[in-house]
Amino acid sequence: MTRNAHASSAESAPTRALATEAVHAGRDDLAELGLHAPPLDLSTTYPSRDARAEAARIDAFATTGVLPDGPPVYARLDNPTTGRFETALARLEGTDAAVAFASGMAALSAVLLARASQGLRHVVAVRPLYGCSDHLLNAGLLGTEVTWTDPAGVADAIRPDTGLVMVETPANPTLAEVDIRALAHSCGEVPLLVDNTFATPVLQRPAELGARIVLHSATKYLGGHGDVMGGVVACDEEFARTLRQVRFATGGVLHPLAGYLLLRGLSTLPVRVRAASATAADLVRRLAGDPRIARVHYPRIGGAMIAFEVYGDPHDVIGAVRLITPAVSLGSVDSLIQHPASISHRIVDPSDRRTGGISDRLLRMSVGLEDVEDLWRDLTQALSAGSATPSESRRSPERAARA
């Protein structure tokens, strides 16, 4: 089974709705193979008695980044199980191709290296970004140079050596939104990368709005169960070829078992995201009317991520939840809560956190599939543990400052 075989059968299929793609994309050939569940291929290498033919296939891959026909040569080039996940994710995002990596950070690193290999090391980026993405750009670990700006400043920040414009929308952790279509217009010829981890293709398909590169931490909603780490870039075939060459040379490959679990995760993605989003919107309504809450953040496009600033001590809230898991990460079937200034965005300089609108009082919650009444009961008792209403925090300035 080659990549090309399942890609071409997907191409010949009529356009199908997202919910249908979620359960069928990347599996179109299974019935012909006499299978129902996708096969999991754990091979690291593939036997061949024809070394000349293998040499030709390796040459073809090295010069073009096009995956060879026939069995893979070695698992760092390609894996058929991971290939199914890539095919499916590309279908869901509406792009030609997708290239999977060991984590979201490996995916972003590959994008930056791909651009740098073309001499384009300058990146224009909008805060906030996920803490480690901010760090990777800002520390210049891969030789990138970054100009931080707001969406309105992007056009002016672009230079001749700009290889990428990067945004997250809704952004981690404030859920701030960017108008992708307007921003894509400001980018001109420079590719726009949208980190679509929070929205998922269920709520937003950035490629249809003009983004050339769509990135996911697949660790989050795509996997959906908190038990698999991965990253993926959805893009046109031309950029995918460069990414495959970077992945082959730098080795940030996704494990095939992770590819299997991510493909399985995609099949319930629409149902999970819609159900958790409805619960999140309900919790947002309750929090907005709660005197212990200074401000609630929730994007216009909806979603299962919520964020809120408390009057009291956010550490007390983290310490008091019982049903909700106090942990970083997001997008699992169960609800998680964390304090961005302490954890997910700890690595970002405090002044840069402030520029990104990340208050020390902000809590970020990933709403899962639990019953809304059970979640609210846990959240409201935890808020009481960290409770200070506006008048109390005025009476006790040290308590307010401690947060």
Ligand X SMILES: *Cc1c(COP(=O)(O)O)cnc(C)c1O
Q: In the set 169, 219, 338, 393, which binds ligand X (CB under 6 A)? A: 219
Told to check if 195 binds ligand X by CB under 6 A, we report yes
Told to check if 307 binds ligand X by CB under 6 A, we report no
Q: Using a CB cutoff of 8 Å and minimum separation of 24, what contacts does 148-153 make?
A: 148/352, 148/355, 149/124, 149/125, 150/126, 151/126, 151/178, 151/179, 151/182, 151/183, 151/186
Name the residue with the smallest CB distance to ligand X. 104
Find the catalytic residue in 41, 195, 316, 378. Answer: 195
For residue 311, indicate whether it is catalytic: no
Q: How far is the CB of 18 from ligand X (least distance, A)?
A: 21
Told to check if 120 binds ligand X by CB under 6 A, we report no
Told to check if 217 binds ligand X by CB under 6 A, we report yes
The span of 83-91, 92-100, 128-136, 352-360 binding ligand X (CB under 6 A) equals 128-136
For residue 241, indicate whether it is catalytic: no
Q: What are phi and psi of 147, to 5 degrees?
A: -115, 120
- Residue type, position 160, single letter: P
Nearest residue to 342 via CA among 316, 320, 378, 366 = 316
Burial class (CB in 10 A: 0-12, 13-18, 19+), 125: buried
Nearest residue to 112 via CA among 127, 84, 83, 132 = 132
Q: What are phi and psi of 295, to 5 degrees?
A: -160, 140
The span of 48-56, 125-133, 350-358, 377-385 binding ligand X (CB under 6 A) equals 125-133
Told to check if 105 binds ligand X by CB under 6 A, we report yes
Q: In the set 83, 128, 231, 340, which binds ligand X (CB under 6 A)? A: 231
The CA distance from 334 to 328, in Å, is 12
Task: Give 97's strand partners.
Answer: 235
Q: Which is nearer to ligand X, 104 or 256 (CB)?
A: 104
Find the catalytic residue in 76, 286, 295, 399. Answer: 76
Q: In the set 103, 204, 335, 393, which binds ligand X (CB under 6 A)? A: 103
Told to check if 133 binds ligand X by CB under 6 A, we report yes
Where do we find the tokens 């995916």?
107
Q: Which amino acids are annotated catalytic?
A: 76, 130, 195, 220
Residues making contact with ligand X (CB under 6 A): 103-105, 130, 132-133, 168, 172, 195, 197, 217, 219-220, 229, 231
